[in-house]
Structure 1
Amino acid sequence: MQLIIENRDRWSLWLPVLIGAGIGLYFALPVEPALHAAVAPAVLVASALLAMRRHPVAVVCLAGALAVAAGFAAIALRAHLQGTPVVPGRTGIVVVEGRVLTVEARPDQRPRLGLRVARATGLAPPWPREIRLSFDTAATVAGLAPGARIAVQAILLPPPGPALPGAPDHGRALWFGGIGAVGFATAAPIAIDDGAGQGGLAAWRQRMAGRIANAMDRTEGAIAAALMVGIRGGIPEAVEARWRAAGISHILSISGLHIGLAAGVVLFSLRFLLAAAGSVSLRYPVKKWAAAAAILAAGAYTVVAGLDVPAQRSFIMTAIVLVAVIADRLAITLRLVAIAAAVILLLEPESLTAPGFGMSFASVTALVAGFEAVRTPLARWRAQTGLFGRGGLALLGILLSGVLATVATAPFGVAHFGQFSAYGIVANLVAVPWTGFLVMPLIVVAALLMPFGAEGPVLALLGPAIGVIDALAAEIAALPGAQLSVPAMGQGALVLMVLAGLSLCLWRGRLRLSALAFLAAGLGLWAAEIADPPRLLIHEEGRAVATVRDGALVALPPASPRFVIEQWQERLGLGTLAVTARAEACEGRRCRLALPGGGEAVIDTAAEAAEIPCAAVVILTAREAAAPADCPGLVLGPSRLAGRGTLVIDGEGRLSDTAAARGRRPWTPGWWAPVQ
């Protein structure tokens, strides 16, 4: 306790952590709390804090409690205001009429449209406000742009839940983004009107992306469009794959790096120009003028990027730093990082579980804390050395930045993606400075020239500059072991790892040693999670059934939906996927899968009555039946499969599923299912 008291000047840095704890508590609930019950604790604690304001100990305790209650109330209110309906299950063919919001047409993937729903014939209301549909070929969406009104036949499904119990909930993220259904079109869309003048910002961004891509080579143009207007649809999957393997895929998504670099380019360029005019720089606060202009530039970039949540988070943080510059405060301190995190969590509380939020603040916190620790010796060395020594210190700073950012973000990469880039530090040491000193300045200049149609020469330089990073990614991705697949870390282990990092960065003195306890607990929990891999994985439709055998994910045909199988493989850290040949595993309507440790799983798709085999697990997709009287095996019929998401049977025979882990919440199909 004495160590904590000695660190009382650091207590305020933990306020966003307590806000996050309140948000996490809300997500952990199995049922949705009433709005008044969610908000009441914050009101009561705030009232108690006001009443006890003259008692320092009570103020500290109540301030911490208020932060937790505020986080809980903020996310409950956000969910209440969001409230988009979710389709309760797979539908038949429905006719959806709506206006196109987004168009994603990647060269090697199915094109997707985002629609704002106006009418859904064949679907009982309430209808989702927005849906996302995939199409067979790009030709079916050719000519469609944001703002167009279309009618399309489609089959809708609820947004996908977690791949495994405890895994990140992608469906929840889609729901907070306004999407209540996903699905696929069964026919080409019919254009009702072209939406001229209706597309707004989205249509303008689409036109700009096309203009940029047409002025450059295919790959470089697609990457430039992603960096300038936030549209990544034109980037081939092979390019994204090699950037991921090299550990630099974060550069493709407009985030704090890009908005901060763009603001920095404007800040230093304008300050340099104003300083060159001696009379102006002597009479006026040119640094503050430049900071104000940088805030406007960052805001404009955020709008151009489509006002996505990650871009909004990045703008808020960048703006807070620049406001500190205007107020003559030290630009980047842990206190400012804490303020930015608290503001974002209160305004966009659902971002707590987004990988971008965790990775952004982990890297920034580690960088600020790291350089805070070495600021004094670095300043002393800088004062005592010459030109070459200062250059060496600059290189040392870049190396230290890469190491700190990579180590700080590694737990999030493992938890969310089950992957670790072995050479990510090396790749980022080259790619990030190259992006900051060459690519982003060219993008800023090109953006300024585009209204005049004079961006051509700048884009001609931008293409080769991007090509250097792409070539680097290709070289690193080709190295042996460039991308390591590891079993994904569960949410509990991730929380402990985050607390370890925060204890190291936020506390001072011996209290930092508490990080070792959190680190050991996190690693121990992760090791316990991966020590006993699932014995059998079953998707709710019974079309995806797999087991883990000899370090590979072995699946029965048809191994569909494919994205479910791929998520299982990713979460379990398995580098090999083996889909058993139908001729080898199946006979008629019955397929068999050998399980580790002995026994087998049998999947039977026949609808007519037939003898049930005696097996460790029998999966019936089209009829209900009980296990034979003398058979100890488990029989799963349609009633036990439907709506369960992924069912997992562990080595002890225990059954769990993702639907139960999600609970009955507004982003789950069960919340919107008709009451029987």
Structure 2
Amino acid sequence: MGRPLIPGYENLAAHAAIPVADQPEAENRPSSLLRQWRRRGGLSSVLHAAEAFLASRPFERMPWLAVAMLAGTGLWFLLPGPAEWLVLTGLCGLVAGCGWAWWQDEDTAVLRAAIMAVAVMVAAGCLLAWLRSELVGTHPIEAPVVTRLHALILEREEQPARNRVRLVVATQDPQRDRAIRARINISAVDDRPFLQEGAVINVRARLTPPTHPVLPGGYDFARIAWFDGIAATGSAIDPPVLASPAEAQASGMALYRRDLARHVRTSVASATGSDGAHAAIAATLASGDRGAINDDDALAMRDAGLAHLLSISGLHVGAVVGIVWFAMMKTLALFPALALRTRLPLVASAGGAVAAVAYTLMTGAAVPTIRACIAALLVMAALALGRQALSMRLIALAAITVMLFWPEAVVGPSFQFSFAAVIAIVALHNSAPMRALVARGEHGAAMRLARAALALLITGLVVEAALAPLVLFHFHRSGVLGALANLVAIPLTTTVIMPALGVALLLDLVGLGWPAWFVTGKALELLIGIAQFVSSIDGSILLVPAIPLWAALLFVSGFLWLALWEGRVRVWGVLPALAGLAGFAVATPPDLMVAAEGRHVAIANDEGQIFLLRNRRGFAHDQLLEEAGFDAASEQDVQAITQWPGADCNRDFCLLTHRHRVLLISRRRSDVDYATLLAACAASDVVVAERKLPEHCRPRMAKIDQPLLTRRGGVTMNLQTGVIRSARPARDRHGWM
């Protein structure tokens, strides 16, 4: 036997042969050290299990990078200011750096790469939103002002349904030495032919800063205007006067869109004998101009779950691309010489891509349309390369592209609705049961039609289930029969309305478009009839009060888990989704709501009734009712605050008790005896007034008056806990705040 290779080998071997319990070192070894090794072993097994999980799903990982970027962008909007944004970015960098430097276990290389990639994408989302805000954000004017403007018209939008024209102009800030962009409404009676892009006008107008939400979580036009570069909004007081005509004709595309919208409305009205909502919707589908659609028709479409048909997005771009692709494939196949020498899918995909870009430009190139165009181009590229036409990877790439250029779209409903719908559709049709249902087989025509109708119904139900919580979160109302309405509306739009509209425009080149315009108009009348019928059914509209953000985030996280993974693991997404829906179910309206200007106040009781200080229709009035989960167009369960049980009201104030709290609410601006007011404040828990209250007015819980509302915007209050939420939180340092 040779000598051992390691000096002292015999001693080591003998030592290793001794049982652990008999080794002298074991008697002195701390038990905590043993537990530490056991914990490390358990952690190692968890890490290796995660590694195996990710390694087995190479095609399911990329969409989560888009989700990480989405989370980073959302956190930028959610966190209050630069310090928190820097901390988030630093933490992401620390995680990525530690993964790169210290985690060298080759057995967990995929897990390490995933953690580093997620950290980088979260940081990228936050930084891109921050950069976008710094580059394009525009500070609003300081205060409302009435002034005479010398302005250059940049954009013109006709809104016949509201009897006005909306102009975006470049002018001088009346309060500071800087150039600004402002949005001004001109009454239809004051519209003039010279109000075109490029003209310089003089007009006396009232300008205000872009408005903040009436209540917390409401529509935030100030944020939208910040990213759109709008510093002021207002309306003309006098008719505008021409100072200098446009040096050239309006930009070709802008003029073409307006002329196209007028032509479509006129043609449909002439062919059908009436100028109704169908003509306005036809103009919307052709040019993206929604200005002629009145509010009642738009609400009926939304309550029927058909509002997506009024926004040029994926459905419309997909229909145009599909029609062009199919037509080119069938037409080119008629020529054998061409079909044998050319890859027809490549040519048809190129034609579909051109059609997508042209339709996007023709309809105004809004962000939702651009988003749909990007997705369509990716699908055409996949078809040209012989790859799967629509997959989660393509959706993720489209989402990352949009967030790269328009990160502010993440917090808007349009982005959320469109991607949620597409994700739900792709996830459903990638599932084995759905593939079996839509697979081609030896079936008769009736069976194929029935299977297609069933597949469309199931798709509609799944999309509605995915979108309804998001719709309720943003708008507090949703149609519950949308799947049934879309079962007819989507095929009607894609197979009749859109093709007929395209044929009508082509035939109009030779003056023969009347029959196609007639078909388009009648099909649109049927579409509007479906919307009005469905929205009028009792119980077809679900109304809910304001939904807490945590509930929406839980639902979205569960939905993404269900949709983006495959196999049994996706079932775990049901838990957070159901938890989020439980938050929707238990949501209750705030006890007290005060609109931003202080003139509109609402109190909700436990019996589902709401009491208003002023029950006059208007934007603030409607926002209060929507926040509480009531139909703004209905007076059911809406009463005056003077009808509150036990309320003691006079011309100036109302004194009432709710949840064992004493509320003193001002009814109008008036002079009140100072000593009496101070005594009433001291005896009250909450005092609400639209004017400034004396400094020595000190209620026990909260004083909500004009200075507070000016600083914080509209507020809601839970009277039991005393928690107050404001539309403009105190620590929020985003530019538009």
- Normalising by structure 1, we get a TM-score of 0.89
SS in structure 1 opposite 2:712? Answer: coil
Q: Which residue of 1 aligns with 2:157?
A: 103
Matched, 1:151 2:214: no
Q: C-alpha distance in 2, partners of 1:134/1:407?
A: 38
Q: C-alpha distance in 2, partners of 1:46/1:239?
A: 51
Q: Which residue of 1 aligns with 2:118?
A: 64
Matched, 1:116 2:169: yes
Matched, 1:553 2:610: yes
Alignment of 1:596-675 (within 5 A): 596-597=658-659, 599-603=662-666, 604-606=668-670, 610=674, 611-612=676-677, 613-614=680-681, 615-626=684-695, 632=700, 634-652=702-720, 653-660=722-729, 663-668=732-737
Aligned counterpart for 1:175 among listed residues 226, 239, 252: 226
1:161-185 Cα deviation digits (max 9, x unpaired): 2343345634312322332322333
Q: Name stretches of at least 5 consecutive residues in structure 1 with no aligned partner.
A: 669-676
User: Could you say if the C-alpha distance between residues 213 and 513 of structure 1 is closer, same or farther in structure 2, counting changes exceeding 3 Å?
Assistant: same
Q: Which residue of 2 aligns with 1:25?
A: 75
Amino acid at match of 1:396: L
1:26-75 Cα deviation digits (max 9, x unpaired): 11121246999998888898888888998544322211111111111221
Report the Cα offset of residue 364 of structure 1.
1.1
User: Could you say if the C-alpha distance between residues 523 and 460 of structure 1 is closer, same or farther in structure 2, counting changes exceeding 3 Å?
Assistant: closer
SS in structure 1 opposite 2:440? Answer: helix
Q: C-alpha distance in 2, partners of 1:258/1:639?
A: 48
Q: Which has the higher contact order (CA 8 A, sep 6+)?
A: 1
SS in structure 1 opposite 2:296? Answer: helix
Amino acid at match of 1:640: L
Q: Which residue of 2 aligns with 1:186?
A: 237
CA contact (8 A) 1:18 1:68 kept: yes
CA contact (8 A) 1:84 1:180 kept: yes
User: Could you say if the C-alpha distance between residues 552 and 110 of structure 1 is closer, same or farther in structure 2, counting changes exceeding 3 Å?
Assistant: farther
Matched, 1:580 2:644: no
Q: Which residue of 2 aligns with 1:509?
A: 567
SS in structure 1 opposite 2:431? Answer: helix
1:633-657 Cα deviation digits (max 9, x unpaired): 6433432222321022212233231
CA contact (8 A) 1:559 1:579 kept: no
Q: Which residue of 1 aligns with 2:349?
A: 291
User: Could you say if the C-alpha distance between residues 314 and 383 of structure 1 is closer, same or farther in structure 2, counting changes exceeding 3 Å?
Assistant: same
Alignment of 1:464-479 (within 5 A): 464-479=522-537
Report the Cα offset of residue 18 of structure 1.
0.3
Aligned counterpart for 1:565 among listed residues 610, 621, 636: 621
CA contact (8 A) 1:3 1:510 kept: no
CA contact (8 A) 1:32 1:666 kept: no
CA contact (8 A) 1:626 1:635 kept: no
Report the Cα offset of residue 82 of structure 1.
0.8
Q: C-alpha distance in 1, partners of 2:434/2:461?
A: 20
Amino acid at match of 2:232: A
Q: C-alpha distance in 2, partners of 1:582/1:596?
A: 13
Report the Cα offset of residue 608 of structure 1.
7.1
Alignment of 1:209-608 (within 5 A): 209-217=261-269, 218=275, 219-374=277-432, 378=436, 382-449=440-507, 455-527=513-585, 530-531=587-588, 533-549=589-605, 550-557=607-614, 562-575=618-631, 576=634, 578=638, 580=640, 590-592=652-654, 594=656, 596-597=658-659, 599-603=662-666, 604-606=668-670
Amino acid at match of 2:732: G
Q: C-alpha distance in 2, partners of 1:570/1:208?
A: 36
User: Could you say if the C-alpha distance between residues 175 and 380 of structure 1 is closer, same or farther in structure 2, counting changes exceeding 3 Å?
Assistant: closer
Alignment of 1:196-215 (within 5 A): 197-215=249-267
Q: C-alpha distance in 2, partners of 1:19/1:422?
A: 32
User: Could you say if the C-alpha distance between residues 511 and 208 of structure 1 is closer, same or farther in structure 2, counting changes exceeding 3 Å?
Assistant: same
Q: C-alpha distance in 2, partners of 1:555/1:125?
A: 43
CA contact (8 A) 1:110 1:134 kept: no
- Normalising by structure 2, we get a TM-score of 0.82
Q: C-alpha distance in 1, partners of 2:363/2:685?
A: 52
Q: C-alpha distance in 1, partners of 2:380/2:91?
A: 34
CA contact (8 A) 2:215 2:594 kept: no
Q: Which residue of 2 aligns with 1:672?
A: none
Q: Which residue of 2 aligns with 1:671?
A: none
Moved more, 261-270 or 352-361: 352-361
Q: Which residue of 1 aligns with 2:37?
A: none
Aligned counterpart for 1:6 among listed residues 53, 56, 71: 53
Q: C-alpha distance in 2, partners of 1:662/1:424?
A: 40
User: Could you say if the C-alpha distance between residues 277 and 47 of structure 1 is closer, same or farther in structure 2, counting changes exceeding 3 Å?
Assistant: farther
User: Could you say if the C-alpha distance between residues 608 and 486 of structure 1 is closer, same or farther in structure 2, counting changes exceeding 3 Å?
Assistant: closer
Q: C-alpha distance in 2, partners of 1:408/1:88?
A: 41
Report the Cα offset of residue 418 of structure 1.
0.9
Percent identity, aligned pairs only, is 30
Q: C-alpha distance in 1, partners of 2:397/2:481?
A: 33
Q: C-alpha distance in 2, partners of 1:193/1:274?
A: 52
Q: Tell me the number of residue pairs that the alignment of Structure 1 and Structure 2 aligns.
A: 660
1:605-646 Cα deviation digits (max 9, x unpaired): 1267643134443334444314568x6464334322223210
Q: C-alpha distance in 1, partners of 2:77/2:652?
A: 40
1:413-437 Cα deviation digits (max 9, x unpaired): 1111111212111110000011010
CA contact (8 A) 2:305 2:486 kept: yes
Q: Which residue of 2 aligns with 1:91?
A: 145
1:407-457 Cα deviation digits (max 9, x unpaired): 111111111111121211111000001101011112223344556665444
Cα-Cα RMSD: 3.2
Report the Cα offset of residue 145 of structure 1.
4.1
Moved more, 241-250 or 451-460: 451-460
SS in structure 1 opposite 2:145? Answer: coil
Q: C-alpha distance in 1, partners of 2:124/2:206?
A: 40
Moved more, 80-89 or 448-457: 448-457
CA contact (8 A) 2:597 2:714 kept: no
User: Could you say if the C-alpha distance between residues 319 and 57 of structure 1 is closer, same or farther in structure 2, counting changes exceeding 3 Å?
Assistant: same
Report the Cα offset of residue 512 of structure 1.
1.4
